[in-house]
Structure 1
């Protein structure tokens, strides 16, 4: 979890990809359906870095392969408090990532800010998947 936390705190969005399992499930606090896969999850996390201001972790709770990282940030002038619930698989990769946030007004601000990012997020995820497919094809 140290690597993930360090990447977030350093706002190093490129580091996420190597920390996520290929089959990771990301459950958003503002979307009904979870997102599946490393590329979309990494792109969402990079999008969050673009919309969160003054992000910092307050506390970390660990129980074996399960981790809870409590954070605060600002979104569109609203203070948001949240928690990243993270599970790592046997290989040490994040395979389940769920975020919860409060209060409702901040969650709504987050929803609007992430909605504005989603075109970019989708493009990043598709481009990463295509680049990986090309690289895999050239290795064959």
Structure 2
């Protein structure tokens, strides 16, 4: 998942979104229900880039077929050190169709939850605008 890692490390929002399948499912470490679709997933990832400080991937593990990857990361949220992992699956077209995030410790997960909650109105607005833009172009 080198392309995704490079896009994230470059903070290239367009490149990140381009690697997401339209039907991607995003499973958050702090929300019970997964999020469905590229617009909301891309908006969530943009918000994560706003709330994470000093983000860096420290390890990448990929299966032999290249379809499943685990990207271990470290970051800081509201002064709390976060260690987490992005679990990614790509479809036949090489686009991410399943994106699950896990984080630790609990104090960092709580800080992440609060920071993302503060972003949620903007996330929803960006996702709605992207969906309407996509529908108008279709």
Tell me the residue number matched to 1:39. Answer: 39
Deviates more, 1:6-15 or 1:40-49: 6-15
Aligned-pair CA distance for 1:132: 1.1
Tell me the residue number matched to 1:134. Answer: 136
Unaligned runs of 5+ in 2: none
1 CA distance for matches of 2:43 and 2:3? 17
| Length-normalised TM-score, structure 1 | 0.95
- CA deviations on 1:43-82 (whole Å, 9 max, x unpaired) are 0000000000000000000002000000000000000000
| Pairing 1:15–2:36 present | no
2 CA distance for matches of 1:17 and 1:80? 24
Query: Any conservation in 2 of the 1:20–1:94 contact (CA below 8 Å)?
Result: yes
| Length-normalised TM-score, structure 2 | 0.96
Runs of 4+ in 1 over 2 A off after TM superposition: none
- The number of aligned residues is 136
> Could you say what secondary structure the match of 1:90 adopts?
coil
2 CA distance for matches of 1:14 and 1:33? 25
| Pairing 1:115–2:117 present | yes
2 CA distance for matches of 1:104 and 1:28? 14
- CA deviations on 1:91-119 (whole Å, 9 max, x unpaired) are 00000000000000000000000000010
2 CA distance for matches of 1:18 and 1:11? 13
- For the aligned residue pairs, the C-alpha RMSD in angstroms reads 0.7
Tell me the residue number matched to 2:75. Answer: 73
2 CA distance for matches of 1:16 and 1:40? 13
Unaligned runs of 5+ in 1: none
Tell me the residue number matched to 1:89. Answer: 91
2 CA distance for matches of 1:56 and 1:7? 12
